[in-house]
Structure 1
Amino acid sequence: MSSEFPALASPDATWRAYEALLGTTPDLLYVFDLQHRFIYANRALLDMWGMTWEQAQGKTCLEIGYEPWHAAMHDEEIERVIATRQPIRGDVPFPHAEKGVRIYDYIFTPVIGVDGEVEAIAGSTRDVTERTQQEQRMQLMVNELNHRVKNSLVMIQTLIRQSMRSSSGMREAQEKIDARIMALSITHNVLTREGWHSADLVELVSAAVAPYATAEGRFQISGVSHRLPPHKAVALSMALHELCTNAVKYGALSVPEGKVRIAWQPSDIDEAGRALQLEWQERDGPSPSQDIVKGFGARLLEQGLSHDLGGATALDFQPEGVRYRARIPIEDSQMAA
């Protein structure tokens, strides 16, 4: 068999093949004459207009119903194609009769006659709405990722500086840095699973304390369902890490019988609005000393979180154990039923 494609039987068959292709393609195909009138429009274009060929034939863009600015733009482009004999490309929004406003990518191409002159202008237009929207979403994601990376690098830089400053030697500093970065990583994992929109508070707290839950019943966690935005989720997770670290070294988690209760609930609406009141309370451990949480941990718990959460925090050293309270401003729409 010949490797060449067989020729169609006649010119009529060739034209019927062209008509079949032009009539079924989803692209919008059309031809203007030198007076900017439509002398051909395929089915996809007629459907977009919501017109028949009899209604559209011989009309200009303005007569078809294009907005004056849109028609004027194409008139100028057609004249430029005629003058330069070069294709021109662009994109434009246009109302589809059934689908609403869509974004179209188009190209106008000169049709050269046997005398070497431009005798018509052929056009091809493609609906790129989904592609354009996807590109916009991707750009937003890239911008958001850049923002998150910068924030994470700043936080890691702060963790390293403060860990070095509050440590007695390199080994202790390395241990603090490793633990704090691991805590940050755990929170990032939770947020990544949620597409970085928000994190469920129950999952966030459970993930933060999981490495320290060495026995059943060590942590008692209770609270209403609530979603925290990323910056608040990271801040709260780091606070829980500091509280867990201190509890393991000096507090309730340093002895087998020690326990920690973490609870939160909505507060009454006041002049500052609605909020969650979160509390960490240690029990059955050694009496705490304020000296054990001096340095970066205390500053993070009392000052850093107050800023990042947008609410007040308080760290108390009660005889029964360390108590930490945080007020987290919320919106009613963030509360689950």
Structure 2
Amino acid sequence: MQLAQPRDPATLRAYEALLQATPDLLYVFDLQHRFVYANDALLAMWGMTWEEAAGKTCLEVGYEPWHAAMHDEEIERVIATRAPVRGDVPFPHRVKGVRIYDYIFTPVIGADGEVEAIAGSTRDVTDRRMHEEHLELLVNELNHRVKNTLSTVQSLVRQTLGTADDLEDGGSRIESRLLALSRAHDVLTRENWHSADMQDIVAGVIAPYESAPGTRFKISGPACRLTPQRALALAMALHELASNAVQYGALSRDSGEVHISWDCTHAGEGAAMAFTWRESGGPQVQAPTRRGFGSRLLERGLRNDLGGEVELAWAPDGVVFRATAPLETAPTDGATPQLERR
């Protein structure tokens, strides 16, 4: 469809106002691939005046040779096929840096029915693309987390029922472990699943076992952040330790205490976390005659999930659990290794 040619100056001014008001980049090529029109948005992106850009090709304006050659081929295709061509391309904006632009070249048909020019429209779609990529990443991450969580729950249920005294005992243990997993998820959800602070992980696990802060648990350690996988693994390990302490260890007596401490070292590639759980004041400890799910989770599963080392000792005066794990993030300004809590 051809538009009627405006004959009066008012209509021409209205057309020009529309062309200049849009944030899109609008332009026209002649059959020799030279710019014969560019709106202000395009000139601003180039950092050129119309006098500097008029009559130049993409290459002469400053496009990279590959970019200019691509548009030359597309212009010839529009002329030959009389059909629009659409694409997207990265382009360096003089102020905003490299942006992604979606463009379309459309043939302008003359009175003789032949292509007399090529009109172009380009739109900055960088933010939309980033949003789409972010959504795709979130969906993939969600799928991954759901699969991992379901796998964890499946293993938890199977192993718990395999070592429970009866269904009632098994059901109670499963419910308790699922609640611990839920609390760990709550911590990570507040942090958008980026990482979790050690203090928050510990506080979430021990809360059900204390009537007031500091009454049964003595906690010390700097701010230290763990990845989601390690945070969940450590939360489940702490739950197992606390459950065992309530039934058989330090928390089974009023005089019993649990000392929880950790340290974070940030020495370049050697960044690591060292964690210790130490019970005291409880009944004399004896090593169990069989390894239940909790022990296996602490000794084998946690080692895999943390990517470090674990040690579970049944010392006479109380259970001692130690774990080490590498850290992905370390300060780079030479500061004391105390990460800020978010």
Equivalent residues of 1:246, 1:293 under 8 A apart? no
Aligned to 2:219: 221
Distance, in Å, in 2 between the alignment partners of 1:171 and 1:26 is 67
Aligned to 2:3: none
CA contact (8 A) 2:25 2:122 kept: yes
- The 5-angstrom pairing of residues 41-60 of structure 1 reads 41-60=38-57
Worse-superposed segment, 128-137 or 292-301: 292-301
Determine the structure 2 residue equivalent to 1:115.
112
Name the CA distance, whole Å, in 2 between partners of 1:267 and 1:69.
48
- Report whether the alignment pairs 1:305 with 2:306: no
Query: What's the offset of the Cα at 1:242?
Result: 0.3
Closer, same or farther in 2 for the Cα pair 1:229/1:284, shift >3 Å? same
User: Which residue is 2:149 aligned to?
Assistant: 152
- Following superposition, the deviation at residue 283 of structure 1 comes to 2.2
What are the within-5 Å matches in structure 2 for residues 255-294 of structure 1? 255-266=253-264, 273=270, 275-291=272-288, 294=291
Point out where structure 1 has 5 or more consecutive residues left out of the alignment: 1-8
Superposition RMSD in Å:
2.3
Distance 1:267 1:39 in 2: 63
Q: Which residue of 1 aligns with 2:98?
A: 101
Kindly state the Cα deviation for residue 75 of structure 1 after the two structures are TM-superposed: 1.4
Q: What one-letter code is carried by the residue in structure 2 that aligns with 1:243?
A: L
1:6-21 pair list within 5 angstroms:
11-21=8-18
- 1:6 maps to none
CA apart distance, 1:225:
1.4
Instruction: Report % sequence identity.
Output: 61
Normalising by structure 2, we get a TM-score of: 0.88
CA, structure 1 residues 134+281, in 2 after alignment: closer, same or farther (shift >3 Å)? same
Residue 268 to residue 71, structure 1, CA distance change in 2 (3 Å): closer
1:230 aligns with 2:228: yes
User: 1:169 — aligned with what?
Assistant: 166
Residue type of the alignment partner of 1:336: Q
Asked whether the 8 Å contact 1:246–1:292 carries over to 2, the reply is no
What is aligned with 2:27? 30
List aligned pairs for 1:73-152, cutoff 5 A: 73-152=70-149
Match 1:254 to one of 246, 252, 267:
252
How many positions carry a matched residue from both structures?
Answer: 327
* Equivalent residue number for residue 5 of structure 1: none
Contact 2:286 2:316 in 1 (8 A): no
Alpha-carbon spacing, 1:92–1:274, altered in 2? closer, same or farther (3 Å): closer
1:84-114 deviation digits (Å, cap 9, x = unpaired): 2222211001122222221111011111222
Residue of structure 2 in register with 1:3 after alignment:
none
Deviates more, 1:249-258 or 1:152-161: 249-258
Residues 149, 268 of structure 1: alpha-carbon distance in 2 compared, 3 angstrom cutoff:
closer
Q: Give the aligned residue type for 2:120.
A: G
The normalised TM-score by structure 1 is 0.90
Cα deviation digits, residues 117-158 of structure 1 (max 9, x gap): 222111100111122222222222222222222221221111
1:190 maps onto 2:187 in alignment: yes
Query: Structure 2: which amino acid aligns with 1:282?
Result: E
**1:24–1:298 CA distance, 2 compared to 1 (3 A):** same
Go from structure 1 to structure 2 and tell me whether the alpha carbon gap of 1:277 and 1:93 turns closer, same or farther (over 3 Å shift): closer
Distance 2:263 2:34 in 1: 69
Q: Secondary structure at the match of 1:291?
A: coil
Q: 1:118 to 1:267 in 2, by over 3 A?
A: closer
Q: Is the 8 A contact 1:250 1:292 kept in 2?
A: no
